[in-house]
């Protein structure tokens, strides 16, 4: 087996912790840091990124789908409009694979796109050309806001997970939390129709178990997110079902509902897509 030290360390947990602003993280024992690196599959991730280091942006996406031997069952591809100036808004059950697949679907149709993603995706250099980064868990800087406005006002297709986080168990059911209203506001301002997309599936029981235990113990840190690379590798050789709904005109978002209420209406449409 290849020596991990011979690879470029795109992901280096020890370095990230050392350079962080957290004194608590910096005091973690070495064995804990090594355990975290193992949990997030640091070596496997770096091996993967090194294998496809010559690919970036849209050319990287089919390589990963081929690498994981994913079978995509896509319903409603005919609903993708000819004009790609839309928000392609989806539920977020997986955390990584669904992000790769939605960008693959959209880029295959339109050739290019921008994806609204959090800072974690910036650790994957092959994806950086596609990401319009936004800090989900903190206040976005003025530079981020300005860069996002430039993307919103362009003609480039935009993929988005309006929940802002991976699906968890809410009210006894695995689903997204409430969708944020900002994509409705931006849809109206930038005159972008919204295409609802539904991913069928879920992560492992372990992922939701850790989330439940964290909530019971009152731990605010989303420690289950460390499992997302593991969840990605668990999707190897799987069939992923996706349903694409009909575009919803930005003109339909009138004053009969607030932007927050409209966001939940679109969320509901996404979940109903493919279930009629």
Q: 138 and 122 in contact (C-beta within 8 Å)?
A: no
Is residue 68's pLDDT more than 60?
A: yes
233-254: average pLDDT: 96
Q: What confidence score (pLDDT) does residue 48 get?
A: 92
Residue 55, token pair as written in the block:
């690919």
Tell whether 221 is covered by a domain: no
Residues 33, 160: one domain? no
Which residues constitute the domain of residue 15? 1-51
pTM of this structure: 0.88
Confidence class for position 118, pLDDT limits 50, 70, 90: low
**Number of DSSP helices (H) and strands (E) in the chain, helices first:** 11, 9
The contacts of residue 102 (CB under 8 Å, 6+ apart) are 88, 90, 115, 159, 197, 199, 242
Q: How many whole angstroms separate alpha carbon 165 and alpha carbon 183?
A: 15
69 and 47 part of one domain: no
The CATH number of residue 150's host domain is 3.40.1130.10
Whether residue 61 sits in one domain with residue 41:
no
- Using pLDDT thresholds of 50, 70 and 90, give the confidence band for residue 223: confident
> Distance of alpha carbon 66 from its chain centroid, rounded?
19
What's residue 271's pLDDT?
Answer: 96
Q: How many domains does the chain have?
A: 2
- DSSP letters spanning 34-98: HHHHHHTTHHHHHHHHHHTTT--GGGHHHHHHHHTT-EEEEE-GGGS-SS--EEEEE--SSSSHH
pLDDT digits (tens, 9 = 90+) for 166-222: 999 988 899 999 999 999 999 999 999 999 999 999 999 999 998 888 888 887 777
130 plus 171 within the same structural domain: yes
Q: Would residue 212 count as lying in a domain?
A: no
Q: How far apart are CA 76 and CA 78, in angstroms?
A: 5
Is 231 within the bounds of a domain? no
Query: What end-to-end distance do the CA atoms of the chain give, in Å?
Result: 48
Predicted local confidence at residue 1, as pLDDT: 46
Would you state the pLDDT for residue 215?
A: 84
What pLDDT was estimated at residue 246?
Answer: 96
> Average pLDDT of the chain?
88
Do both 102 and 186 map to the same domain?
yes
- pLDDT tens profile 4-54: 556 788 888 888 888 877 777 788 888 888 988 898 889 999 999 999 999
Query: How far is Cα 265 from Cα 259, in angstroms, rounded to an integer?
Result: 10
Please indicate, yes or no, whether residues 41 and 146 belong to a single structural domain of this protein.
no
Percent of the chain scored above 90 by pLDDT? 61
Q: What is the pLDDT of residue 6?
A: 65
Q: Check whether residue 120 and residue 179 sit in a common domain.
A: yes
For residues 98-107, average pLDDT: 95
């Amino acid at each position: 087996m290849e020596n991990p030290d011979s690879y470029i360390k795109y992901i280096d947990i020890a370095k990230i912790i050392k350079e962080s602003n957290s004194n608590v993280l910096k005091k973690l024992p070495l064995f804990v840091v090594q355990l975290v690196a193992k949990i997030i599959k640091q070596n496997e991730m770096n091996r993967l990124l090194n294998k496809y280091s010559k690919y970036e942006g849209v050319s990287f996406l089919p390589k990963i789908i081929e690498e994981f031997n994913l079978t995509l069952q896509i319903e409603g591809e005919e609903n993708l409009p000819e004009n790609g100036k839309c928000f392609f808004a989806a539920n977020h059950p997986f955390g990584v694979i669904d992000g790769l697949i939605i960008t693959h679907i959209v880029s295959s149709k339109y050739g290019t796109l921008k994806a609204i993603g959090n800072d974690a995706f910036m650790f994957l250099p092959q994806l950086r050309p596609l990401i319009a980064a936004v800090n989900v868990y903190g206040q976005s800087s003025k530079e981020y806001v300005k860069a996002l406005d430039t993307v919103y006002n362009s003609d480039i297709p935009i993929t988005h997970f309006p929940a802002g986080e991976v699906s968890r168990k809410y009210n006894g059911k695995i689903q997204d939390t409430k969708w944020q209203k900002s994509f409705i506001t931006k849809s109206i301002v930038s005159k972008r129709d919204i295409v609802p997309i539904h991913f069928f599936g879920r992560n492992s029981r372990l992922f939701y178990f850790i989330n439940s235990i964290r909530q019971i113990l009152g731990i605010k840190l989303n420690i289950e997110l460390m499992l997302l690379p593991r969840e990605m590798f668990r999707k190897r050789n799987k069939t992923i079902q996706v349903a694409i709904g009909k575009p919803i005109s930005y003109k339909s978002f009138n004053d009969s509902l607030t932007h927050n209420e409209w966001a939940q209406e679109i969320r509901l449409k996404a979940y109903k897509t493919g279930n009629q």
